[in-house]
Amino acid sequence: MSQFLSNCSVEALAAAARILREGSLVAFPTETVYGLGADATNAKAVARIYEVKGRPADHPLIVHIADMKYLQQWITDIPEYAIALARKFWPGPMTLILQRSELAKDFITGGQDTVGIRIPANSLALGLLDAFHNLGGAGIAAPSANRFGQVSPTTADAVREELDEFLASTDLLLDGGASEVGLESTIIDCTGKLPRILRPGAITTEMIEKASGLKVSDSAENKTDNNKQEEIRVSGSLENHYAPKARVFLDQQPVLGSGFIALSEIETPAGVVRLAAPKTIKEFARVIYSALREGDHQNLDSIYIAQPTGDGLAIAIRDRLLRSAKGR
Ligand code: TXA
Ligand code: MG
């Protein structure tokens, strides 16, 4: 069981940064989902992330930094368009995949020659990162703070529920309230001539094209080495991911006694448990994971979801729902 901290002061964040530097884990809020953090240069600490998550060790981790000035040390090369994206969307829900430097070891990249980097837009996360850099830290490796294959946590309670039994008394969980975005960051492969989305999120194709002035590629064709592309491992792209215990059904008539999630404009069918009625697509993204968790708390066998239609963030929502409907 980990220590738990809410109302984090500057001193508390400095203490949390020390805990990370000493090799323990700190779960912390970000605007997307909660992350389970470790010093990204400490092999032993990073190994514990995999243990606690129950995640295969060859899956790469995102390195979180507080500012662009900490980016250079992690990478060898960055295309113009990636700089434009970073300037436009960082801090924010976007991860850039770039050519790694020596600092990004195999235990971070899963043995690939690229590294994923993100500057999160959350004051607690940035406060923790600042304090961590002040202690000489280069970056915090952090996957979503859930057991492998399960729904990402968007509150500190959800992290506790997922991981507390696997955490040690020297580990720490920071409570920063509910995550604002609610879906994991957009992952953009920036190793080719054109940006390529590996995982859709709140930074949409349209936003990327506008900021970069380039067309987003949806194939491996712009790669200099096509074979490399096949090797990229995005664990979030495994099919059975983001799955609650209940079975998830998409765009089907719900059966009696099941859970139901849909935009508020859609009425609740008789005899089902309404788990969420978001008014907007943005709110849909923000509440979807906690609504799935609520279905499990209520021991529902099945959850029916009327998916939001359209482009942008709705694409990211449908991407996650499709996987959660595949079950575990
Ligand atoms: O919003 C987020 O990205 C959250 C918060 C905590 O920052 N983090 C997150 O981490 O979702 P995780 O580990 O649950 O998902 C990160 C995904 C994984 O599917 C991983 O395979 C992929 O990013 N990834 C990391 N480094 C990569 C790389 N070098 N190449 C390709 N994919 C990479
Ligand atoms: Mg994850």
CA of 248 to the centre of ligand 2 (A): 18
Protein residues within 5 Å, CB atom, of ion ligand 2: 144
Ligand nearest, relative to CA of residue 33: 1
Q: Cα(139)–Cα(54) distance, rounded to whole angstroms? A: 22
Contacts of 132 (CB under 8 A, 6+ apart): 17, 20, 21, 39, 66, 140
Q: What is the mean pLDDT of residues 169-197?
A: 97
Q: What is the mean pLDDT of residues 203-215?
A: 97
Backbone angles phi, psi at 109, to 5 degrees: -95, 0
Residue 328: pLDDT band by 50, 70, 90 thresholds?
Answer: low
Tell whether the model's pLDDT for residue 78 goes beyond 80: yes
With a 6 A CB cut-off, is 232 part of the ligand 1 pocket? Answer: yes
Residue 232: pLDDT band by 50, 70, 90 thresholds?
Answer: very low
Question: What pLDDT is stored for residue 228 in this prediction?
Answer: 42
Which residue's C-alpha comes closest to atom 32 of ligand 1? 234
Neighbours of 43 (CB within 10 A): 13
Ligand nearest, relative to CA of residue 30: 1
* Angle, CA of 40, 10 and 41, to the nearest 5°: 10
56-70 pLDDT per residue, tens:
878 899 999 999 999
Tell whether the model's pLDDT for residue 133 goes beyond 90: yes
Tell whether the model's pLDDT for residue 227 goes beyond 60: no
**Cis peptide upstream of residue 91 (ω within 30 degrees of 0):** yes
With a 6 A CB cut-off, is 115 part of the ligand 1 pocket? Answer: yes
Average pLDDT, the chain: 93
CA of 143 to the centre of ligand 1 (A): 6
92-111 pLDDT per residue, tens:
999 999 999 999 999 999 99
Residue 326: pLDDT band by 50, 70, 90 thresholds?
Answer: confident
**Which has more confidence, 4 or 297?**
297
Which atom from ligand 1 is nearest to the alpha carbon of 144? 14
Place of tokens 């069918």: 269
Tell whether the model's pLDDT for residue 49 goes beyond 70: yes
Select from 129, 150, 178 the least CA-distant residue to 6: 178
Question: What pLDDT is stored for residue 240 in this prediction?
Answer: 58
260-276 pLDDT per residue, tens:
999 999 999 999 999 99
Q: How far is CA 278 from CA 34, 263, 283, in A?
A: 21, 5, 5
Residue 242: pLDDT band by 50, 70, 90 thresholds?
Answer: confident
Q: Cα(30)–Cα(47) distance, rounded to whole angstroms? A: 22
Residue 7: pLDDT band by 50, 70, 90 thresholds?
Answer: confident
With a 6 A CB cut-off, is 112 part of the ligand 1 pocket? Answer: yes
Backbone angles phi, psi at 159, to 5 degrees: -65, -45
